[in-house]
Amino acid sequence: ALLGLDENRMRVIAPEVGGGFGNKVDVSPEEALTSIASMKLGRPVKWSETRTETLLGTTHGRGHVHEIEAAYRKNGELLALRGRVISDVGAYPSFFGASIATFTPLMMPGCYRPKAVDVEVVCVYTNTMATDAYRGAGRPEAAYSVERVMDEIAVATGLDPVEVRRRNFIPKDAFPFTTAT
């Protein structure tokens, strides 16, 4: 649509680049410029960039600081999570940027069953590249936070970390299950 062409008039070759990493969703200026250059020259045009150029010019995926408190019983049962997610969204708005930080608290219970979750999200503009959808988009941050909570509960109660997790898993017979978020 950007170039005014039907899809069947375009040929894009994206060779194997390996695993599920890197930015997605956004359209880079280079993608549009190489297409325009190809149209003007009447021949294929290739764009490649260095790792440094990629890191400077494409969206970033993570820049969170989490401050999380947990309420739990002596037996290791997680009751509630409360805290704040501070998210670096870069220097200017992007397609999903600020919304990614809001996904994190929604997914914070993970496979566990706290009865309450109250997490404030604060997005801050900085002098870095914009943040946008990247692999996982808020999920790895949520998983890291709740798993650190489980480890801290284990330390505080003297219980085995595996046992703390077992006691907090959503049991099979509870499905379909609605989380606190």
Residue-level pLDDT at 40:
93
Q: Give φ, ψ of 151 to 5 degrees.
A: -65, -40
Neighbouring C-beta atoms of residue 39, cutoff 10 Å:
15
Contacts of 63 (CB under 8 A, 6+ apart): 87, 88, 89, 90, 126, 128, 131
Q: How far is 146 from 141, CA to CA, in rounded Å?
A: 9
pTM score, whole prediction: 0.78
68-81 per-position pLDDT tens digit: 999 999 999 999 99
The token pair at 58 is 């494409």
- pLDDT for the residue numbered 139: 86
**CA–CA gap between residue 97 and residue 117 (Å, rounded):** 23
Q: Are 124 and 89 in contact, with CB atoms under 8 Å apart?
A: yes
- Residue from 111, 110, 89 nearest 100 by CA: 89
Instruction: State the amino acid at position 55 in one-letter form.
Output: L
Per-residue pLDDT of the chain (181 residues; tens, 9 = 90+): 888 888 888 777 777 766 556 666 677 788 889 889 998 999 988 888 888 888 787 887 778 899 999 999 999 999 999 999 999 998 888 877 788 888 899 999 999 999 999 999 999 999 988 888 777 778 889 999 999 999 999 999 999 999 999 999 999 999 999 999 9
